[in-house]
């Protein structure tokens, strides 16, 4: 099946481990390139098991001066206690940030006024351009927690959203929560326009659970009912699939 995604930016690997190794190596390569020409790099990270292999490879990469990297993340639940292991900031700490000497780490910390927290986080991101986003695609095609139908021309950079049931179920399917009733109903998310303003996107999408979302994103129209389809409009988005997630493209 022909995809509408640039072939030179689409990488299909046999296994999830190989996907992560290649993506991590290419993110590290871009970091080294940027750090060779500018004083610091600003990155946004997704927090999900789909990113695990890439983060492992990135943490092990040689020659990256992490002390010159400013790190942010793209979404956070509202209503979980601060030490809850499912919080995305806590997941990223365990999975990556405690493994590298990161220069600056700014995490979302939803408090008593999540909407104001979203505005404040967006303001911090807006201080300087974002160089790299490491992201995935949800089982329903969401980017961050921008569920379908998505806002492609959203004026805000971060906002409070109510999570679709499909997005909450994915957290159970990924083994992060025991039941859907345990998954929070609301979150703060960066918006799609905010993510797309970054210079480079590296999108890791392994697993059969993402097969239908990948097929819709790469072969259908760019449409709000498939938020990930907007990635085709970005001038520098690299997409990494494994045999399971790419099976619908055959």
Read off the pLDDT of each residue in 129-146 and give the average, rounded to a whole number. 97
Read off the pLDDT of each residue in 144-151 and give the average, rounded to a whole number. 96
Proportion of the chain above pLDDT 70, given as a percent: 99
Q: What confidence score (pLDDT) does residue 23 get?
A: 98
Give the confidence band of 250 by pLDDT, cuts at 50, 70, 90. low
The distance of Cα 113 from the centroid of its chain, to the nearest Å, equals 24
Match 């098991």 to its residue by tokens.
49
The string of pLDDT tens digits covering residues 101-128 is 999 999 999 999 999 999 999 999 999 9
Alpha carbons within 13 A on the beta-carbon side of 154: 22
Q: Are 235 and 7 in contact (CB under 8 A)?
A: no
Is the pLDDT reported for residue 1 higher than 90?
A: no
Give the confidence band of 59 by pLDDT, cuts at 50, 70, 90. very high
Is the pLDDT reported for residue 78 higher than 60?
A: yes
Q: From CA 13, how far away is CA 144, in angstroms rounded?
A: 23
Q: Which domains does the chain have, with CATH numbers?
A: 9-241 (3.40.50.1360)
Q: Are 47 and 92 in contact (CB under 8 A)?
A: yes
The string of pLDDT tens digits covering residues 175-206 is 999 999 999 999 999 999 999 999 999 999 99
Q: What confidence score (pLDDT) does residue 2 get?
A: 56
Read off the pLDDT of each residue in 145-149 and give the average, rounded to a whole number. 96
CB neighbours (10 Å) of residue 175?
8
């Amino acid at each position: 099946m022909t995809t509408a995604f640039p072939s030179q930016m689409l990488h299909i690997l046999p296994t999830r481990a190989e996907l992560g190794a290649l993506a991590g190596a290419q993110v590290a390569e871009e970091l080294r390139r940027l750090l060779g020409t500018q004083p610091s790099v600003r990155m946004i990270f997704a927090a999900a098991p789909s990113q695990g292999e890439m983060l492992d490879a990135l943490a092990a990469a040689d020659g990256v001066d992490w002390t010159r990297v400013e790190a942010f993340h793209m979404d956070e639940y509202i209503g979980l206690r601060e030490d809850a292991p499912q919080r995305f900031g806590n997941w990223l700490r365990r999975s990556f940030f405690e493994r590298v000497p990161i220069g600056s780490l700014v995490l979302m910390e939803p408090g008593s006024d999540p909407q104001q927290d979203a505005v404040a986080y967006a303001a911090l991101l807006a201080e300087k351009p974002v160089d790299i986003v490491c992201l995935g695609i949800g089982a329903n095609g969401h980017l961050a927690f921008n569920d379908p139908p998505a806002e492609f021309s959203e004026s805000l950079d971060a906002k409070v959203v109510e999570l679709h049931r499909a997005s909450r179920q994915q957290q159970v399917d990924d083994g992060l929560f025991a039941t859907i009733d345990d998954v929070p109903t609301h979150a703060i998310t960066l918006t799609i326009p905010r993510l797309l303003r970054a210079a480079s996107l590296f999108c890791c999408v392994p697993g059969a659970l993402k097969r239908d979302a990948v097929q819709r994103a790469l072969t259908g129209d760019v449409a709000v009912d498939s938020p990930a389809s907007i990635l085709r409009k970005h001038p520098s988005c690299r997409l990494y699939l494994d045999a399971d997630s790419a099976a619908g493209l055959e």
